């Protein structure tokens, strides 16, 4: 049997209520914060991610699904949404709309990672991006949206960590200090981090190797090396979050894995879902639009991993209620009754009732077993005498009580059904 590719998932009907609940909550909350939906292509020119996400990142170096098309052009399945959204904003002249431009998206992303709980090769994100606002207030408002979604979903034990990784002004000095610190201990670093020392020393700070973690604990911190403007920005962010009543911790180890970040970075972490505990990550990217050929435009956003949110929902027992069950199942006996049952069911459905009837030609016994299995609240058996009299017994499944109803008067039938 052909199986799904490693690291992908089938999302079966019984899981769908969780997805719909998260998607609905996230969309409705984002709309209330002034965000509109945007949809972008699943694949983009590879160059976009090399320039946008950064060619020293793990995502670009090791994780991209890249292919050439029939005309030898290089494309990549999007590993994330921000670069594609920035491209779409530029390509469609959206920066001349009222700023800040606020967009949200629900996308699938692709990264060639080692699959485990909460980490897959095709995964799903709900994300937002805000363009044209460079203030700490903008950071706080985007973080507050993530916080509101997480709370509305009903998650507990999710903590916000923030950090500032500076700007092109202060980062070279910080990088130099970092390189100097790690160089002195190079032999203790893992092979990947030894490489990172040359290409992207900041990434050593979030390596998961125990020895690198130990070394990183005493490494110079970004927040101790910020230029005056970045420091003021970070202080204002903290004040803004406090004024909005959003609890946070400053975690100097949050550096994020994508190159476009400047200043504010943040993660919402849920400790009850195992190793892949970051349910939401984001930050400011003031250089990205310019790097992609547009005018200097600040930006900030975040993305949440939907499967991780679902793991967190299950871990803290969020009740999303029971899926809707059919109100009525019509069980016909014989060919003529089958045709009539189909007609009645259709009329009920068109009037908004969740109704069902036999389409398998089953025996009455098998039909009643089926009605029970799908949890129909009422059943109606129709045979030739019911067709003739136009009346049948409506059975309430919970207590087997019966009521005589008219089968041709849909409004009267609906009234008895309470629909
Ligand atoms: P990211 O941290 O790479 O950031 O991903 C955001 C979230 O997507 C993660 O916190 C996690 O919940 C989920 N995620 C990432 N990789 C996987 C995976 N392999 N399997 C399951 N879930 C995963 C970004 O993608 C940025 N574009 C976020 C952003 C938007 N920054 C600014 N604007």
User: Does residue 82's CB lie within 6 angstroms of at least one atom of ligand 1?
Assistant: yes
Atom of ligand 1 nearest to the CA of 308: 12
Q: Token pair of 43, please? A: 């694949």
What pLDDT does residue 419 have?
87
In angstroms, the CA 209 to CA 207 distance is 6
Pocket test for ligand 1, best of 77, 80, 277 (most atoms within 8 A of CB): 80
Contact (CB, 8 A) for 112 and 45 = no
Residues in contact with 354: Cβ distance below 8 Å, sequence separation at least 6, in sequence order = 324, 325, 326, 327, 328
In angstroms, the CA 399 to CA 13 distance is 29
Spacing, Cα 169 to ligand 1 middle (Å): 27
Residues in contact with 285: Cβ distance below 8 Å, sequence separation at least 6, in sequence order = 82, 260, 261, 262, 299, 300, 301
Contact (CB, 8 A) for 7 and 121 = yes
Pocket test for ligand 1, best of 119, 125, 309 (most atoms within 8 A of CB): 125
- Has residue 320 got a pLDDT over 90? yes
pTM across the whole model: 0.95
Atom of ligand 1 nearest to the CA of 267: 10
What pLDDT does residue 56 have?
85
What pLDDT does residue 200 have?
86
What pLDDT does residue 394 have?
97
Which whole number is the average pLDDT over 52-69?
93
- Has residue 251 got a pLDDT over 90? yes
CA angle 233, 235, 241 (to 5 degrees): 100
In angstroms, the CA 125 to CA 60 distance is 18
Which whole number is the average pLDDT over 284-300?
97
Least confident of 75-89, 191-205, 348-362, 369-383: 191-205
Mean pLDDT for the chain? 96
254: part of which helix (H) or strand (E)? Answer: none
274: part of which helix (H) or strand (E)? Answer: none
In angstroms, the CA 27 to CA 37 distance is 8
Which whole number is the average pLDDT over 345-351?
97
Q: 212-226, pLDDT tens digit by residue?
A: 999 999 999 999 999
């Amino acid at each position: 049997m052909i199986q799904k590719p490693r690291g992908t998932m089938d999302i079966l009907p019984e899981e769908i209520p969780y997805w719909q609940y998260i998607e609905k909550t996230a969309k409705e909350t984002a709309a209330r914060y002034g965000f509109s939906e945007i949809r972008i292509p699943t694949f983009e020119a590879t160059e976009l991610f090399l320039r946008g996400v950064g060619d020293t990142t793990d995502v670009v170096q090791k994780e991209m699904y890249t292919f050439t098309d029939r005309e030898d052009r290089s494309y990549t399945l999007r590993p994330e949404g921000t670069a594609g959204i920035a491209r779409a904003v530029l390509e469609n002249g959206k920066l001349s709309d009222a700023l800040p431009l606020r967009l949200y998206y629900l996308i699938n992303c692709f990264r060639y990672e080692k699959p485990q709980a909460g980490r897959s090769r095709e995964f799903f994100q709900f994300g937002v991006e805000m363009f044209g606002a460079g203030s700490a207030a903008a950071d706080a408002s985007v973080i507050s949206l993530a916080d509101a979604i997480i709370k509305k979903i009903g998650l507990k034990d999710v903590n916000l960590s923030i950090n500032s990784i500076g700007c092109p002004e202060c980062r070279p000095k910080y990088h130099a200090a970092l390189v100097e610190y790690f160089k002195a201990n190079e032999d203790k670093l893992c092979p990947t981090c030894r490489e990172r020392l040359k290409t992207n020393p900041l990434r050593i700070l979030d390596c998961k190797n125990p020895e690198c973690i130990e070394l990183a604990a005493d490494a110079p911190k970004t927040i101790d090396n910020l230029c005056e403007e970045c420091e003021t920005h970070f202080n204002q962010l903290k004040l803004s979050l406090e004024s909005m009543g959003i609890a946070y911790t400053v975690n100097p180890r949050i550096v994020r894995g994508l190159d476009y970040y400047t200043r504010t970075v943040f993660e919402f972490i849920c400790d009850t879902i195992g190793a892949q505990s970051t349910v939401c990550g984001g930050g400011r990217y003031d250089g990205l639009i310019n790097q992609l050929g547009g005018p200097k435009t600040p930006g900030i956003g975040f993305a949440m991993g939907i499967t991780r949110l679902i793991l967190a929902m299950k871990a803290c027992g969020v009740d999303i209620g029971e899926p809707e069950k059919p109100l009525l199942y019509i069980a016909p006996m014989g060919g003529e009754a089958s045709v009539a049952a189909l007609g009645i069911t259709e009329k009920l459905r068109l009037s908004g009732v969740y109704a069902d009837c036999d389409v398998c030609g089953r025996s009455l016994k098998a039909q009643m077993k089926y009605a029970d299995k799908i949890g129909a609240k009422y059943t109606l058996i129709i045979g030739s005498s019911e067709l003739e009299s136009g009346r049948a017994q409506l059975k309430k499944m919970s207590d087997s009580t019966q009521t005589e109803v008219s089968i041709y008067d849909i409004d009267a039938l609906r009234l008895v059904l309470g629909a």
